[in-house]
Structure 1
Amino acid sequence: MRPGGAVQMHEGVVVAGRVVDGRIDNNTEFSDQSHLNLAASIGAEIEHGDWRLVPRVSLSSAQSVLETPLERLSVQSPEGVGYAFDLAGAADRRQAAWLTTDFDLLDPSRLTLAQLAIRAVESRDDDMTAALDVRRLLDRGSGPLRFTGLRLGTQWGRRSRDYQRRDRRAVLRNEADGIVGLFDATVAADVFSDLVGARPGPWIVSDFARVRAAFATPDARADVVFRPGDLVATGTDLQNSYGVQER
């Protein structure tokens, strides 16, 4: 521990402390999600003589997509920032006593190391089932053994899933522009007031339109807004697709 730092332990766990050479992150996430669920079922009852037929077909489809992929902008303070915290008794009180820092959370010029991580996700699940139920009343038999009806049925189903994810990192189009211009607002002054008693106050947040204009992905599209199908999958991208047919 650096000179000036301190920690308070309780049953082997750090519950409070003062850090003199730390680093503070400012993180913002952007995302727009779209979900479309469709379901339809049609059936009938058909009587032909002594026979009764009940066919049914059911279809369902669920599609989810991040219209704006999950964009995580992370910027950091330089090393050497001091902060202090006291979490003793926070679980019982449902509130931490304090979390403070002398770092100016409203000054974007003091932030550096901007990183933009992007995750585009799209999935589709389809299900189709067809069933036929055939019945006929009977009155046949001999002695104590009698047949009162005949019932037959068949069912066919197919399920499929297509899950695609692309993870990319974007870089500043022009590093000389810096990141100060990305920030144009602050969080509410009472943010986390129910969770932390003494707080350092609000901090600046970035604007997505400015972030989108300032960053670019290394692929040909460059735009940080994309869907999985816009990019060729690599070995690090998560894909999960299958089809199952049952009879």
Structure 2
Amino acid sequence: MVLVHLNHRLVQMCLRLLRAEVWAQDDVKKLHRVTVRAVPDTLIDGPAVVVISRLVVTGGNHHRLHEELTVAGGYLGDKAFRREEGVTKAQQWLDQAKPLTAADSLFEAIRVRFDRAQSAILQAIDARSKDRLKFLTNTLQSRKQQEVADIGSVLDELEKAIQLELKKDQQPAQLSLFSEDERTQLRRDTAALEARLARIPVERQQEAEAIETRYAKLNDRTFPVAVIFLVPESAVQGGAA
């Protein structure tokens, strides 16, 4: 987890390999994006589906501000799909799901229901992303304010340091002992520090505006990554869907 938070190069390489495998063609990929699992009858009484998606939140200039995996699920009824509103409920399904080797007839029955409900399932995924974005809005606003405060603190420290250095240069020790080249260099250094000090207010405004632009116009993009079909354990034992 530490390496992930530090954006370590090894983590970046692993993510690149994962993304490449996710989007690889079916005839060459080694990572399967669809699976069937069994869930206790106390959780579901019929086929259900959980879709894991990659949510990317971007701001101004399409700058990526946040990325995470989301979970959206619902019930694959015989006639219609019904979204499970509780995210914790869908996660509970995954936590208690057990792998199984589904018979062709079982998988085909579930696939038919899934194909019929694709539009409703995509709407549920999009709704989940919108709900997540509402929650993330405050988090991103807090991060924006923190970035503005951080850059302000850095520039304040720089301003104080330059002012302190200029005070030292105004009263150099034994200036008369300096050579002409040394005095010229001292004047140049002082002029450079003064010019740098004069740019700080403009930089403070520019940095704040850049941060504001980066966090403006939040937009979410969702990319479904994996589909998990869930069936009650009794249905697996009975051989029905």
Q: Larger % of strand: which?
A: 1
> Which of the pair has the greater relative contact order for Cα pairs under 8 Å at 6+ separation?
2
Q: Which has the larger radius of gyration?
A: 1
TM-score category (smaller protein) = under 0.3
Q: With structure 2 as the length reference, what TM-score do the two structures score?
A: 0.25
Q: With structure 1 as the length reference, what TM-score do the two structures score?
A: 0.25
